[in-house]
Structure 1
Amino acid sequence: MPYRPKGSRNWHYDFQIRGRRFHGSCGTDDFEEAKAVEAEARVAARNAPEITRNFTLSEALGTYFADVSQDQPSARTTRSQFRSILTVIKPATPLSQLTDADLMRLRSSRRSEVSNATVNRTFASLARALRHMENKHGAAVPNLNFSATRLPEPKERVRELTIAEQKRLFEHLRRDLHPLVQFALMTGARQGSICQLRWRDIDVDTGRMKFKMKTDTGTSAKSMNFPMSREIKAMLATLEKSDDPDHAPYVFTFRVHNRKRAARRRILQNSTAFEHFRKAVNAADIEDFHFHDLRHTFATRMLRETKNIKMVSRLLGHSEITTTSRYAHVLDEDLADAIDGFSALSNNASRKPSRSAKKRP
């Protein structure tokens, strides 16, 4: 029955169906009208997706985005992926009626517009959303063959920023984004790890930072400790903090200009910061370069300097050293240089004697 809360002139309803609570205002002070409103609310509640567990594709993607994706650095990408899905498969399609034919139709449509890698990432996001709806909301999801949708991808390239390109990039990059790019070059941290880095994750006394790391599901549940060099400490000490209480805890913020209010520093997540980075790359005439390539640049430079692939693997947070082996070309180049300078057919008289040779009588 409708009830009237203290201090309210209108009647309200409050009931439960299958353990879920539904409540709200009836929008009227007439008791009979309120009973009719409550009756309509009960009918709507019994047919609600969270009760019937019959979600449409649009409802499923929207629920997953609200539950999981909206707070991730990749929120914009996920939103774009979901929109592309809904342009091919009707939004009102019940999850229980999705078929492998729908997936193949989506595959054919998307591969004509974007790269194979982008198509594969879109299907990975869709699969995560369906698993979430099934596990967390009890949705009826058919057994779909996602493995059949996977397209071949070229071997991941390693793109290193040259020193000349680096100079041009900083010349065209907004000044308040310089620390962001510098930090990526100093640490090789992923975009998501940088966006989520908070001041509480930095321990100056121990000289360590805690990075949130990407897992196999695309979330950031793991973490790793990263050593801070003197260069990193000096750069962090110069950073301007946000004057917004919701954004102040984050290390890297981005100055956002608003016509109605004074410019304020906001978090990088869901901002236009990385769009400005891409514009600077284009303005600097740097071809085929993305923000993630700053991580490649760190790895190749560190490996070239240390010759220690195991150490570089740990700094990158790789669980398997085979993942780091893509950078082994740096060591191969050094081996080639070494063999070029070696002659097995001459006495190498011009070479400096080895330590073992000096010890011989």
Structure 2
Amino acid sequence: MASIRKRGERWQARITRKGFPPEVKSFGTRAGAEQWARSIESEMDRGIYVSRSPAEQVTFSEILDLYMKEVSPNHKGYLAEIAKLKAVQRLRMGQMMLANVTPKVMAEYRDERLKTCRPNTVIRDLAALSSVFNYCIKEWRYAIINPVAAIRKPSMPPGRNRVLDAAEEKRLLEALRPIKNRNIYMRPLVIVALETAMRRGELLGLEWRYVDLIKRTAFLPDTKNGTSRTVPLSERAISELTTLPRSIGGLVFPIKWSAMEYCFQRGVKRAELVNVRFHDLRHTATTRLSEKLPNLIELAAVTGHKNVQMLARYYHPKAEDLAQKIG
């Protein structure tokens, strides 16, 4: 039987039962203390009791520190993940006890993020936090629920379907010609992207030791999907690669991500193109490759997509072209 006593302005409930650790918690009312005690004793009777005390004695920020130290380094893109989690630590939620990070708190976090971020960004942020809570539950054995799983996720916006036509490509490549202070690697980078459908990170991480100009292949040892793949290179891609100067570091395109994005957007502006991002080159390349590789398995082997559903997001045929095919 739990003991209930008043201490100052609050009511303290204490449960002491053989075979279980002592449980103590304070409430603003006697009714609240009695209700909590009944629920804990009921769980003990049914054999489903797990102590909540550890989750009530550690802050969410402390949990994030431990997660970033022990778990994040094993993830791809862990630096970006750590940046997300450090941002959460600075919020009011970060200073709460782990047990107090409820679905209501998480819903408030979601709504605040949606005021300044796109839905897909918020979805990724929630996914990162969900991984933290799941790890707490499964590996560290905290008696909590995953509050992310209990809230509504933002609706995903329609996927982009921006594909450059031949005239737009010509204007973009002309705008990226290496004159004056323009980066000499940008134009070849865009051409290889259009010829191979490689991701931005795959291109910027590509090393000469993995490029075989004779066999016309580029080996990617570490991709977004966690698997390696070998990408075939067209004659046009080979032509561009053979003219490139070799960097001391061994990278085919020795450009930092931020510098590449800046140069690309300047080129888009000079070419007077509308609503074009670097990732749209992958959409464009996949759509073009689908005409040369109608076999979906072969096409996915080149682009690196693991299933047809994901591949379909990057394939954007024109209705008039399909009309020509069906006769």
Please give the TM-score of this superposition, normalised by the length of structure 1: 0.61
Q: Which of these residues, 298, 302, 309, is aligned with residue 289 of structure 2?
A: 302
Task: Please state whether the residue corresponding to 1:151 is helix, strand or coil.
Answer: coil
Letter in 1 for 2:237: I
- The whole-number CA distance in structure 2 between the counterparts of 1:164 and 1:64 is 50
Q: What is the CA distance between 1:185 and its match in structure 2?
A: 0.8
**Which residue of 1 is the match for residue 260 of structure 2?**
273
Native 8 Å contact 2:286 2:315 kept in 1: no
Letter in 2 for 1:320: N
Q: What is the CA distance between 1:249 and its match in structure 2?
A: 3.1
- The whole-number CA distance in structure 2 between the counterparts of 1:193 and 1:141 is 41
- The whole-number CA distance in structure 2 between the counterparts of 1:232 and 1:209 is 11
- The whole-number CA distance in structure 1 between the counterparts of 2:209 and 2:218 is 9
| 2:313 counterpart of 1:321 | no
Task: Please state whether the residue corresponding to 2:160 is helix, strand or coil.
Answer: coil
Deviations 1:130-186 (A, max 9, x none): 5567788x5858431434342111331321012232233234443332222122111
Deviations 1:258-281 (A, max 9, x none): xxxxxxxxxx35x43223323332
- The whole-number CA distance in structure 1 between the counterparts of 2:192 and 2:133 is 36
Which runs of structure 1 show a deviation greater than 6 angstroms over 4 or more consecutive aligned residues? 132-136
**Which residue of 2 is the match for residue 123 of structure 1?**
126
Q: Which of these residues, 127, 146, 156, is aligned with residue 148 of structure 2?
A: 146
**Which residue of 2 is the match for residue 101 of structure 1?**
104
- The whole-number CA distance in structure 1 between the counterparts of 2:161 and 2:241 is 28
Aligned pairs for 1:127-276 within 5 A:
127-129=130-132, 138=140, 140=142, 142-147=144-149, 148-173=151-176, 174-175=182-183, 176-211=185-220, 212-215=222-225, 221-243=226-248, 248-254=249-255, 268-269=256-257, 271-276=258-263
**Which residue of 2 is the match for residue 56 of structure 1?**
62
**Which residue of 2 is the match for residue 7 of structure 1?**
none
- The whole-number CA distance in structure 1 between the counterparts of 2:120 and 2:294 is 31
**Which residue of 2 is the match for residue 113 of structure 1?**
116
Structure 2 residue runs of 5 or longer lacking an equivalent are 1-56, 177-181
RMSD: 3.4
Deviations 1:47-71 (A, max 9, x none): xxxxx987525525753797257x8
- The whole-number CA distance in structure 2 between the counterparts of 1:133 and 1:314 is 37
Deviations 1:96-125 (A, max 9, x none): 543222211111001122221111122123
- The 1:305/1:130 distance shift into structure 2, 3 A limit, reads same
Native 8 Å contact 2:130 2:148 kept in 1: yes
Letter in 2 for 1:112: K
Q: What is the CA distance between 1:334 and its match in structure 2?
A: 2.9
Structure 1 residue runs of 5 or longer lacking an equivalent are 1-51, 216-220, 255-267, 343-361
**Which residue of 2 is the match for residue 287 of structure 1?**
274
**Which residue of 1 is the match for residue 50 of structure 2?**
none
Native 8 Å contact 1:58 1:92 kept in 2: no
- The whole-number CA distance in structure 1 between the counterparts of 2:133 and 2:252 is 34
Letter in 2 for 1:183: V
Native 8 Å contact 1:64 1:132 kept in 2: no
- The whole-number CA distance in structure 2 between the counterparts of 1:128 and 1:223 is 25
- The whole-number CA distance in structure 2 between the counterparts of 1:168 and 1:334 is 23
- The whole-number CA distance in structure 2 between the counterparts of 1:118 and 1:63 is 24
Please give the TM-score of this superposition, normalised by the length of structure 2: 0.66
Letter in 1 for 2:223: M
- The whole-number CA distance in structure 2 between the counterparts of 1:329 and 1:180 is 22
Letter in 2 for 1:312: L
Q: What is the CA distance between 1:83 and its match in structure 2?
A: 5.7
**Which residue of 2 is the match for residue 10 of structure 1?**
none
- The whole-number CA distance in structure 1 between the counterparts of 2:58 and 2:141 is 5
**Which residue of 2 is the match for residue 336 of structure 1?**
323
- The whole-number CA distance in structure 1 between the counterparts of 2:87 and 2:69 is 17
- The whole-number CA distance in structure 2 between the counterparts of 1:139 and 1:198 is 43
- The whole-number CA distance in structure 1 between the counterparts of 2:162 and 2:107 is 32
Native 8 Å contact 1:302 1:312 kept in 2: yes
